[in-house]
Structure 1
């Protein structure tokens, strides 16, 4: 498995059952330029003096002990949510999943200068790559069961032989570990509890302002659905307990009771198409869906008769924003940087529709 400086990563975002996304065909095409062993220590803000070491790191799979404040941090979660949280804290890891900034919004936070490992959907995380980065802490927060087709339980013991491993308390969550919980865990492990609190507080203040500015969202139901084309069809992504549902709630929308229909299965069959209706319908187009397939879906009578569509409370989103970002990735990953970026692009479109 190659270790490379982050390069252009091509791929598809496939239908999601475990983490509201699945990654297929992702690969790094650049020649290796920089190995993890050539990296210097991770860049960390100054210690706050609130965490006492040694620190026992508990997980559902066992315990490891962090003897002192770490300096070299490897972030190994397949979709790189842990890397986003580290960057939000001002921490630069020595290793990250190559899918960091697949959504196109983390470059300005340092994602374009990271050493990465290549991740392919369903393949094991390359433990040898993690070992080569010489970490003194391995971060696996935000790794839900089966994320990217792999389970942390299958990797934990081997990772723990390399360095202490920090996880979120409940990595068996079906869809979502709230990033707020994960960043607090990171804050304690890295002696950055105040910084973690500041990230959460800033996020809450930002979305409070969004809700204050857009009271018209308050109490309305909303659906986030994605057309994946012929391969995986229409998928209901704002399922109960999902990152998209949490994102819509931060904007002020109420939970859609119809979402219960998709709690176990996200695929929207013709028989269930009426169940995607809501006060506001957001329909995205994945990179796998052709424009003709979108026109076929939105031109059908079953779709046009949805109340959100017939009333004009319907927003159709392209695969990429004008600046090349991916709203689907940002909202499905559910991190603080991506959520704020997504809101900046999405809120004006929804406000115009209403």
Structure 2
């Protein structure tokens, strides 16, 4: 699949708690306003009113000094042509808290200042003289939102979704509206959705098969029904396994810790496991995991924390989704090909 055109459009001259909470939240939904109350107003900079979890915020003009306090908004800001001045670290510890696809989009602009993931430093944010603060893909408390709003117009979590739970299309719409480039955001969303359409057409065998995202965080197993990474699998045509579906009983289908005794709930035609922490302590190294049919038949792909594929899938953004598709599609096809004798070998070669 050729994702070059999409990349050209975006080109420009408690850590553990964050990993659990944002390891992949919210299915890829239909592109929509996601609470944004306006579209492009051209070059005039007409004020836009954007709804969010804690009310609504008016954004005047065209912001240029943007700080992102969510986990992935830096990718959206860069894709839409703005270099952020402050970015919150999630994981990876790359310079400027930018993974390779975002660093490429930054071009020759200076690296943004890095904000710590564990706790917001309001003095640091204020010192950046920002004219817009974005926390769409975040878990901001109301108190944090109110404090940030005293510094600059602040957009909190998208309404109608769990914290860290807005679909990537909605994040794109909100960020695009806030930056006064909504039409560009909509175009990029359509481009990426076309890539998924092409992938499904290329791999009709994904339809009706099951796939699941799990993670091993300091040796504990977690499963995900909602989010960019699970949504990545859904938009490729996969279904969530029935046994895994029963794990998610909350209304927001939040991530669920899976006990060793219930690891069979991870059974799927394709099982992706992000590994955070030492690999020899991962759930994938445990005998009970190795007894899963998915493990014995080579239908598991482990993704080390710092691997680009894990980062791209986890970010699930305008910039990282084309990267994830390029890297993941041949591997997923190898896992799902229905041949237990070749799945593991094919996945290794694809990697």
Q: Which interval holds the TM-score relative to the shorter structure?
A: 0.7 to 0.9
Equivalence for 2:48: 55
Equivalence for 2:179: 190
Conservation of the 8 A alpha-carbon contact between 1:240 and 1:260: no
Query: Where does 1:1-354 land on structure 2 (aligned, <5 Å)?
Result: 16-20=19-23, 49=42, 53-77=46-70, 79=71, 81-99=72-90, 101=97, 103-110=99-106, 113-121=110-118, 123=119, 125-143=120-138, 145=139, 151-170=140-159, 173-228=162-217, 231-236=218-223, 239-257=224-242, 258-262=244-248, 263=253, 266-286=256-276, 288-290=277-279, 292-294=280-282, 297-298=284-285, 300=287, 302-321=288-307, 325=308, 327-353=309-335, 354=337
SS of the residue corresponding to residue 272 of structure 2 reads: strand
Structure 1 residue runs of 5 or longer lacking an equivalent are 1-10, 22-46, 146-150
Conservation of the 8 A alpha-carbon contact between 2:137 and 2:163: no
How much does 1:310 deviate? Answer: 3.3
Conservation of the 8 A alpha-carbon contact between 1:82 and 1:140: yes
Change (3 A) 1:315 1:89: same
Provide the rounded CA distance (Å) in 2 between the counterparts of 1:115 and 1:65: 24
SS of the residue corresponding to residue 267 of structure 1 reads: strand
Conservation of the 8 A alpha-carbon contact between 1:282 and 1:315: yes
Q: TM-score, normalised by structure 1?
A: 0.74
Structure 2 residue runs of 5 or longer lacking an equivalent are 1-13, 25-39, 91-95, 338-351
Provide the rounded CA distance (Å) in 1 between the counterparts of 2:286 and 2:128: 51
Change (3 A) 1:166 1:118: closer
Q: TM-score, normalised by structure 2?
A: 0.74
Offset from partner CA, 1:102-161 (integer Å, 9 cap, x none): 65432211188322233142x2x1111221111222222222x3xxxxx34221112111
Provide the rounded CA distance (Å) in 2 between the counterparts of 1:105 and 1:205: 20
Offset from partner CA, 1:240-261 (integer Å, 9 cap, x none): 2232211111222112222331
Conservation of the 8 A alpha-carbon contact between 1:227 and 1:289: no
How much does 1:220 deviate? Answer: 0.8
More helix by share: 2
